[in-house]
Amino acid sequence: MARKVAIYARVSTEHEAQISALENQVQYYDDILSRHTDWTLVDRYIDEGITGTSIHKRDSFMRMLRDAKEKKFDLIVTREVSRFARNTVDTLQQTRTLKTYGVEVWFTEDNIWTMNDEDGELRLSIMATLAQNESKKISQRVKAGQMISFKNGVLYGNGNILGYDRVGDKLVVNKEQADTVKRIFELYLKGNGVRKIQDIMEQEGRKTATGLTRWQSGNVNRVLQNPFYCGRIVYRKQYVPDYLVQKKINNHGAVDKVYVEGTHEKLVSPEDFDRAQEIREKHRTGKRDKAGRLLGQSPCKNIWGNKCVCSCGHAMNRRVAHKAKDGSDSFVYQCYGQLRTGTPEGRRKKGLDTEGICDNSSFMGWKLEVQADFIFKKVLSNKEAIYKEAMAMAQDVAEVKAPERNDKEMLERNMRQIEKFNRQIANLVDMCTEGDISREVFRSKKKKLEDQILNLEKLNDECRQRVLELEDNEAKDRRIDSLSEFIRMTAFDSRAKIPETVIDNFVDQIVYDHGVFKWYLNPAYGNEIYSQATSDWKKKQLQESMNDKVLLPACTSTGSYS
């Protein structure tokens, strides 16, 4: 029978690449294809240097599943179950999914055909379980070996550490870089801040660990917080909680860190390092969690901070410029890149180079508010068009069947149930292999569980579709509410402030470049771009013009974007 065939191969480690080179695997499959002259090779899907415990880390594997769904082939040839996956649930789920696409998998070494072999899934389950157990044992052996390495002070990784050169498996002091590390600690302990030290490093022509002459505050902070410089080695800064997922996460106390005294040469004394940490702790501000760790910055809550970006690509930082007599704040916006490097003028005064430094000007926040007033009250003042837009969106929402509000909860509940059924199937496999139940009982019970899983997956597909429709409707509802608010606002007070909801729903982005603002409106208004030059604007004059109902300098449309 003529068949369209795909090949799947995986090489996971350097050792394996040596004993079973990829070229050898290609030849292996070529030999198989030569014996089946009625087969047509569609594609080869090969993952190199990727773990087998999780399919989601394998790009070629995921591409193969997508192509299978599009029915580009009807047979996958792979060497053995451990090449396909070392996770029992993944193996069973993916082969079942492939069956629904009409795609069979042939494991050549184990001689398992997932469709034709009567006992194929039972044998596949047994082999997948063995492969997963082997992965677990390997993980345990690796962890045991790591503990021995920790105690012996073995260095992991191959990254650069400022102050040292890597010679074989040891780090040897680099005198020039070591002087830089010592200088950083010296300056910090004398009361200089990180930003000041950053400038001094550039003034003195010192280089970072990667050989750059341009310093960032992060370069200085990494030196100050690295205990390696005082002779201490810290292991388990990150750890892998699940050997099947193989995803590293930062260790905030979930597992014990390991501290050892290294045999490498110290660049600072433990006493000076500890003093530096005490100073750093005093200077650290912000909210902390229950364990005392600093929490990350919360998303910007200011509407202009979310919408406005510098022409160099950085976000704009907002800070208070001054307080008015009525207690209100006036804000100024500046490129975040300049906060890290300094402005060109500031760098010139310090004798630092300005090449590649953003030279964009800062601006006062009231300029954004004035432009918003002009754009939304003048350019979009056609209330009839706005009303038609709102009615069209409302009609779209009404025509779509209202989704269930608890679909997300149902999805989560179904996924938990599917996992439960898969565990039950795995238990049935164990019972069958141990002889506790017959193959007939195994097949019967497994069939019932598989049917339940299939029904739940169909329900999930319907839920996902309704969730997408719900999210789309909710977005339209927000726009309708914004339009309604805009109409009500301008109907009773032509000088009312533009609501943030209107700006949030109808402005994609505002790009600022040396006094010129470009407003990118969202598709509700044809992806329009409005440009406004503001360099010669004076706040007092503009306020007088607005009070006298004089038209502001023209904000012009410059076309649309995609």
The answer to whether 103 touches 423, Cβ cutoff 8 Å, is no
**pLDDT at position 362:** 92
To the nearest 10°, the Cα dihedral for 371, 373, 379, 385?
140
d(CA 345, CA 526): 40
Structure tokens at 405: 């509000």
Q: Contacts from 263-269 at CB under 8 Å and sequence distance 24+?
A: 263/153, 264/164, 264/170, 264/171, 264/228, 264/231, 265/173, 266/229, 266/230, 266/231, 267/163, 267/173, 267/178, 267/181, 267/182, 267/229, 267/230, 268/181, 268/182, 268/185, 268/229, 268/230, 269/230
**pLDDT at position 15:** 43
CB atoms inside a 10 Å sphere around CB 276: 20
**pLDDT at position 117:** 55
- Helical ranges in 298-363 per DSSP H: 303-307, 336-341, 344-349
Task: Please report, in tens digits, the pLDDT of each residue of the chain (562 residues total).
Answer: 689 999 998 775 444 444 355 666 778 888 899 999 899 999 999 887 554 444 556 788 889 999 999 999 999 998 877 667 655 556 777 887 888 889 998 988 878 888 865 565 666 666 556 555 555 555 556 555 555 555 555 565 556 789 998 887 778 899 999 999 999 999 999 999 898 999 999 999 999 988 888 898 889 999 998 888 998 887 765 555 544 445 566 655 556 666 777 778 889 999 999 999 999 888 765 555 554 555 445 556 688 888 999 999 999 999 888 887 777 888 999 998 898 888 999 889 888 888 889 999 999 998 998 888 777 766 555 555 555 555 555 555 444 444 455 777 888 888 888 888 877 877 777 677 677 788 788 778 888 888 888 888 888 888 877 777 766 666 666 666 665 665 555 554 556 677 777 788 778 899 999 999 999 887 655 567 888 888 888 776 666 555 544 444 556 666 666 5
**pLDDT at position 76:** 93
Give the predicted TM-score (pTM) of the model.
0.49
d(CA 365, CA 333): 7
Backbone angles phi, psi at 519, to 5 degrees: -100, 120
**pLDDT at position 54:** 47
| DSSP 8-state secondary structure symbol assigned to residue 204 | T
Residue in the structure block whose two tokens are 């209107």: 502
The 10 Å CB-count burial string (b at 16+, else e) for 421-436 is bbeebbebbeebbeee
- Would you list the DSSP string of 1-51? --EEEEEEEEE-SHHHHHHS-HHHHHHHHHHHHHT-TTEEEEEEEEEES--
**Nearest residue to 364 (alpha-carbon basis) of 549, 551, 537:** 537
d(CA 359, CA 345): 9
**pLDDT at position 242:** 46
d(CA 104, CA 182): 64
527: left (phi over 0), alpha (psi -120 to 50) or beta: left
Q: Contacts from 290-299 at CB under 8 Å and sequence distance 24+?
A: 291/252, 291/253, 293/252
Cα angle 495, 498, 500; round to 5? 160
CB atoms inside a 10 Å sphere around CB 282: 8
